[in-house]
Structure 1
């Protein structure tokens, strides 16, 4: 990849606000070349990481805007202490199916 293409790629990633991809790109391209990854594998990995980061950031923004006094996660709940609550039911409800 020539220097102009490289700079344009990074510029486009910044413009599109694909910051996670831009951050991971250089290192992952080296790994992909070493491990003979296909173009589809590279794109899949990079976009999956971007998606995960955006989802986590969205959850964090919602939690912050909700104004909860303390951040509590379902994973931290002690189901053994509160035995009247069925863990499987709560986990099923958490999937929003």
Structure 2
């Protein structure tokens, strides 16, 4: 390898390390601020936004399967069972031509 390649690797490594360190400092600053209460609900809100955006424009079978998975998640609070029921519901709806 030539010197420019090694310099690129070093610069990217320093940049990656800097981003992580700044994230740690920013996280500590947010945790000690008056807005820290919002961090408790953030992971769930991110998941809901990802699911909602992926459901936009989908077929009715997908929406029904998502509703079935939501019901199972609410009742059981079991991730694997929720995924299995959602897949089975979608497969059943598509198989039977709903």
TM-score category of the 2 structures, normalised to the smaller one: 0.3 to 0.5
Larger helix percent: 2
Task: Report the TM-score, using the length of structure 1 for normalisation.
Answer: 0.35
